[in-house]
Amino acid sequence: MKTLIISSSLSPNSKSFVLCKKVNQKLKDRGIQTELIDARKIILNPYHITKTKDMEDLSNKISLADNYIIGMGVHNYSVNDSLKIILDNCFKNVDGKFFGIVCAGGGEKSYLSTMHLTQMCMNEWKMIQLPRTVYASRNDFKNNEITSKQVLEWMSLFCDEFAKIGLKLIS
Ligand SMILES: Cc1cc2nc3c(=O)[nH]c(=O)nc-3n(C[C@H](O)[C@H](O)[C@H](O)COP(=O)(O)O)c2cc1C
């Protein structure tokens, strides 16, 4: 199974990228073939502006993957702007595919902000989401490293479930 991990934040100190990197390692440890996309290395243009070569390459990778982990930062209780660009422009051949969400927010109470991503993926592409999400706030990090034991334990459960259900859905 080919799992594409899409870290969508453009922040130089992105915490959701730190979460994605850790999830990437944990899935690799479970024998899953993964690729980690770092949106900071991609030139992204909004819809109605010419698509960049990077965006076309990302669309191709998304088309070919079996399933996805989507990393987002919370912006105004919703998805970050660069993730919206990726969804609007690069989500191709994703219909019915499985995905999981990892999310970083500033506050501890913004975890329901992932629901907007759930809505988009389910309504537009009938994708199937792993019910467990990984959410971490600024208090779960120190020097941009995860310090919360609870977040790490939760992330391990998330990876166990993602690997188990992901494999079942493609077999
Ligand atoms: C424009 C903007 C809006 C934000 N809105 C929220 C918010 O509504 N709730 C919240 O908890 N954090 C909010 N934050 C804080 C971010 O969620 C936090 O910095 C998080 O680490 C972002 O993920 P990233 O580090 O991967 O970019 C906001 C940050 C920005 C820049």
Q: Is the CB of 110 under 6 A from ligand 1?
A: yes
* The residue type at 100: G
Q: Is the CB of 106 under 6 A from ligand 1?
A: yes
Q: Whose CA is nearest to atom 31 of ligand 1?
A: 75
CATH of domain 2-170: 3.40.50.360
**The pLDDT of residue 131:** 98
Pairing of strands 33-38, 67-75: unpaired
d(CA 86, CA 28): 24
User: What mean pLDDT is predicted for residues 155-170?
Assistant: 97
**The pLDDT of residue 142:** 97
The model's pLDDT over 29-61, given as tens digits with 9 standing for 90+, comes to 999 999 999 999 999 999 999 999 999 999 999
**The pLDDT of residue 10:** 98
Question: Where residue 82 falls among pLDDT bands split at 50, 70, 90?
Answer: very high
Please return the burial class of 149, using the count of CB atoms within 10 Å of its CB with bins 0-12, 13-18 and 19+.
exposed
* The residue type at 89: N
Q: Is the CB of 109 under 6 A from ligand 1?
A: no
Q: Is the pLDDT of residue 148 over 80?
A: yes
Name the strand (E) or helix (H) holding 97: none
Residue for token pair 């988009």 = 120
d(CA 17, CA 47): 24
**The pLDDT of residue 47:** 97
